């Protein structure tokens, strides 16, 4: 089947809009470092500052997914871009922590754009191409890497208070471009089950299982994208620009390779792709978790010191691999959704996206709490290691073991 030109126009316009939204959504990951120094914030309050926009971006994914089914992705995305330009501009006037947090709640609505674009672009593609389409759209998370490259440059040239003003104008321009390039949503306003009947799908345990997968793949990606710049700066004594540039070694593959993850999920199935991605992530997080350690060993001739640490090049390489498999896992999770809930994609995408966004909100807070509590920076990776382990156990019990017992094929690629 040949996909019409209109479908690709919608896909490119939606991806570009989502990328701009993600730049704005993640900007406190860089701006927050300077704000932290000005306000004298500890690790927990810094985590609160960076994660507050993520909270509303998570909570509003569910209603925006529902509104997308009702009013169409073109209308909802355009209105969202226009409305969010206002709080983004107001960031430049904030002076105290509570003001940043209050504005950040409204600014965070841009993060809910994912729940608009995912069902919107999927409706323009046949089932066998939806993994690619949703993965390509999800690659708009490259905005996290763009933020790490662009925001330090703008900050250096114009000062941090000018940066949100520039991004507010960018949102307005993006809204105009999107409206012109996009097309009416073919699934908007179609009469189907009522709201109560639609929410009945949430009783399906698969929905909550996919929420768990996405809370670590997308939630972990979002949280680390916010956390790693200051981690590089503190752990390796780098400048802000250098720390942000190296942090892009995680955010960039975690974004652009999402489309590849969609293709892999189309080819090998959602289950196989997610299963192996989580295993690779588990190994990477085990290595990243180990803190800089010096062991004193008693030998025949006295004592010997053994220094165990991750040099910066190895740390960056492990982050690159982790970002890559998180990208594949994000795409394969939504392949699950497209395969199992084609009639309720807006609602289920909103719920799963909500879980991922909540993970992105809670994890930086937990990173900061653990860092203040135990005084070990790598405790953030220890926490993620445990969450991935839980996800692997859930997947084994609910999918792998069931296949071994019954011979049922779970999450396999659809036949062509």
Phi/psi for 210 (5° steps) reads: -70, -30
Instruction: Kindly state whether residue 394 falls inside one of the protein's structural domains.
Output: yes
By 3-state DSSP, what share of the chain in percent is helix, strand and coil, each rounded to 5?
80, 5, 15
* Rounded-to-integer distance, Cα 416 and Cα 410, Å: 17
Closest by CA to 122, choosing from 202, 114, 214, 411, is 114
Give the residue numbers spanning the domain of 37.
5-186+201-406
pLDDT confidence of residue 167: 95
The total domain count for the chain is 1
pLDDT digits over 27-77, tens only? Answer: 888 888 888 888 888 888 888 888 888 888 888 887 887 788 788 889 999
**CATH number of the domain encompassing residue 255:** 1.20.1250.20
The full length of the chain comes to 416
pLDDT at position 285: 95
Quote the pLDDT of residue 2: 47
pLDDT of the residue at 208: 86
The answer to the question of residue 282 being in a domain is yes
Strand partners, 307: 294
Cα 224 to Cα 383: distance, rounded to the nearest angstrom: 12
- Assess if residue 192 is contained within a domain: no
Structural domain includes residue 413: no
Q: Which of 258, 259, 261, 279 is nearest to 270 (CA)?
A: 261
CB of 319 closer than 8 Å to CB of 288: yes
Cα–chain center distance at 138: 9
**Residue 414 has what pLDDT?**
47
Radius of gyration for the alpha carbons in the chain, expressed in angstroms and rounded? 21
Residue 364 lies in a domain: yes
pLDDT at 279: 95
Say if 358 falls within a structural domain. Answer: yes
DSSP 63: H
Q: Give the residue ranges of the chain where pLDDT is below 50.
A: 1-2, 192, 409, 414-416
String of b and e for 271-303 (b: at least 16 CB within 10 Å)?
A: bbbbbbbbebbbebbeebbebeeeeeeeeeeee
**Nearest in space to 182 (alpha carbons), one of 64, 2, 7, 3:** 7
Separation between Cα atoms, residue 144 and residue 252, nearest integer Å: 7
Please answer whether residues 87 and 53 qualify as being in contact, where contact means their C-beta atoms are separated by less than 8 angstroms: no
CB atoms within 10 A of CB 205: 9
């Amino acid at each position: 089947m040949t996909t019409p030109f209109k479908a690709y126009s919608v896909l490119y316009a939606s991806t570009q809009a989502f990328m701009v939204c993600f730049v704005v959504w993640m900007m406190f990951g860089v701006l927050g470092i300077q704000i932290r120094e000005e306000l004298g914030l500890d690790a927990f309050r810094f985590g609160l500052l960076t994660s507050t926009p993520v909270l509303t971006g998570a909570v509003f994914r569910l209603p925006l997914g529902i509104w997308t089914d009702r009013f169409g992705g073109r209308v909802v995305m355009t209105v969202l871009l226009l409305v969010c330009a206002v709080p983004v501009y107001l960031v430049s006037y904030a002076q105290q922590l509570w003001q940043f947090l209050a504005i950040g709640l409204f600014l965070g609505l841009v993060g809910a754009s994912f729940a608009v674009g995912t069902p919107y672009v999927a409706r323009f593609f046949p089932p066998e191409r939806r993994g690619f389409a949703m993965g390509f759209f999800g690659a708009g998370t490259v905005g996290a890497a763009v933020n790490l490259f662009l925001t330090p440059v703008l900050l250096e040239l114009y000062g941090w208070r000018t940066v949100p003003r520039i991004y507010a104008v960018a949102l307005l321009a993006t809204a105009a471009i999107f409206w012109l390039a996009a097309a009416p949503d073919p699934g908007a306003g179609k009469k189907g089950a009522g709201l109560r009947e639609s929410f009945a799908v949430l009783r399906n345990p698969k929905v909550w299982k996919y929420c768990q997968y996405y809370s670590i793949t997308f939630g972990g990606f979002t949280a680390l994208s916010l956390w790693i710049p200051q981690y590089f700066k503190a752990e390796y004594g780098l400048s802000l620009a250098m720390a942000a540039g190296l942090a892009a070694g995680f955010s960039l593959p975690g974004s652009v390779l999402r489309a590849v993850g969609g293709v892999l999920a189309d080819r090998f199935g959602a289950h196989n792709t997610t299963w192996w991605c989580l295993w690779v992530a588990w190994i990477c997080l085990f290595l990243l978790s180990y803190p800089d350690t010096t062991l004193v060993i008693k030998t025949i001739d006295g004592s010997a010191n053994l220094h165990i640490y991750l040099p910066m090049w190895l740390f960056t390489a492990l982050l690159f691999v982790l970002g890559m498999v998180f990208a594949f896992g994000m795409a394969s999770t939504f392949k699950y959704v497209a395969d199992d809930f084609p009639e309720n994609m807006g609602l289920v995408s909103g719920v799963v996206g909500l879980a991922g966004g909540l993970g992105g909100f809670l994890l930086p807070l937990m990173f900061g709490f653990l860092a203040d509590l135990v005084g070990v920076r790598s405790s953030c990776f220890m926490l993620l290691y445990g969450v991935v382990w839980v996800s692997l156990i859930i997947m084994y019990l609910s999918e792998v073991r069931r296949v071994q017992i019954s011979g049922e094929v779970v999450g396999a690629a659809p036949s062509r």
